[in-house]
Amino acid sequence: MTGRKLLVLQPLLVDEKDPVRFRPGQNTIVAVDGLGAGKDDVVLFCQGSSARMAHGMKPLPIDAAVIGIVDSVEVLGKTVFSARQTQS
């Protein structure tokens, strides 16, 4: 695990009351990041034995891995997140 970056993640959930918005999840996850995600990036992650199937993770004793960096999210035809809009 030497040289691997760990990220503390807070899942984003679709708000049941307003499905075109996210709400923060209540739990946090520590995941190995092999993609180079930055602060405030929205990422996809997997957990359990699936995490070890991510590229370059097979020999590592991990339980969560970042598997993608999200460019945008669309819900019910409305863009609810865009990485372009969050860059300054």
Which CATH number among 1.10.1040.10, 2.40.50.220, 2.10.10.90, 3.10.20.340 corresponds to the domain 5-86? 2.40.50.220
pTM: 0.83
Token look-up 């209540």 returns: 26
- Distance of alpha carbon 52 from alpha carbon 16, whole angstroms: 32
Tens of pLDDT, residues 61-82 = 999 999 999 999 988 888 888 9
The tens digit of pLDDT for each residue in 11-57 reads 999 888 998 888 999 999 999 998 999 888 999 999 998 998 888 88
Domain ranges for the chain, please list them: 5-86
Distance (Å) of CA 70 to CA 2, 31, 45, 49, 74: 26, 16, 11, 22, 11
Number of Cβ within a 10 Å radius of residue 75: 15
Distance CA 18, CA 63 (A): 32
The residues that bridge with 15 in the sheet, in sequence order, are: none
